[in-house]
Chain A
Amino acid sequence: MAKLNLVEAINLGLKQEMKRDKNVIILGEDVGKDGGVFRVTDGLQKIFGEKRVFDTPLCESGIVGTSIGMAVYGLRPVCEIQFEGFIMPAFDQIITHLARIRNRSRGRFNVPLVIRCPHGGGIRALEHHSDCPEVLFSHIPGLKVVIPSTPYDAKGLLASAIMDEDPVIFFEPKKIYRSIKEEVPEKEYTIPIGKAKILQKGNDITIISYGAIIHKVKEACDKINDISCEIIDLRTLSPLDEETIIESVKKTGRVLIVHEAPKMFGVGAEISALINENVLTSLEAPIERVTGFDVVVPLPKLEDYHIPSIGRIINGIKKVINFS
């Protein structure tokens, strides 16, 4: 089995899906000859030709809007939006149409479309290249939102996303595009959308997170030996795996939620409410959130203050544990 990073795993996943199903096509800005600005689609145009892997003009609304039409007509477009900050011109198409066509047409039409999009900060980039807009999409009924944090998960989730009969926003944590390698099977496999992963078992506290930051959560837990942390990697934000969360909280009674996105109205708030609604009496301490601050993502000089640090995560864990 080959050790692959996230970029290579997704690339391999795309290749396999394209081989499996001739309706799968790839479109987006610079995805063809250039192979994508992060090289995720590298080499695919050479293999599958310009009809199945093609560069579009610079128009995100156009990319998503036409992909909707193509998907309705039987293709399986996987379109790339170059950075999460540039998904906004397509927001209208995503919210007003992509998420609703099944409902609007009473099930006559569905849109099996995957929008791949790099996600999050930590790469010292220009404005709009380091945002975490996942809740904007998780809030919308009709969309599925996936965000893997390892190469293995990425490949399996991508396969599921492409086979899904509903639209999937597939966020790729760009900070860890090349920083982690792990064994990824050549053969096809899927990981179900809507199923979280228990990254580490533990008894004292449940830490819920997703995306690139989960690796910092793991590091933080490794640094504190005397606390037994259970780490949940959500992997899918919508639909949320409620059961895994609830079962874990029943066991630990203490919860920390960590995400890079701002705190206000975020994933943390949703999960906190979910726990309150279902297992309030299991709680032994208030739920704590360690998140990005409620600010516009700063440029690189201040980025490290914004993205939750290992220190902040450790403090969060201690605060929850020490509550009595």
Chain B
Amino acid sequence: MHELSIAMGIINIAEKETKKANKKCVELIELEIGSLAGVELDSLEYVWSTAVKDTVLEHAKLKIDFKQAKAKCLECETIFEMEKIFDSCSKCNSHFKDILQGKELRVKLLEVV
């Protein structure tokens, strides 16, 4: 389960930023996770409380901004939602598309005290 590594990556970022800001801990952390980022939200939440123990994130409120994947068809310009990365255009079935959102895996914001 790579969600533990993801949690560790988040902790790493939070520890560094908190230290850099000369603060003690994080009150709120906002993540941005796309539906095609390869992260199971349930699994992430499952490992979260164990992972953040004894870190600056131990008592932080976790807010996840989930982004449903969307693409724009390069043939007919339709904007459509994707379930899978290989989904074709919902209107003309073309495979040529620009992914607009859904691959996000970011720490968006930290509130530190």
Query: Is B one of A's binding partners?
Result: no
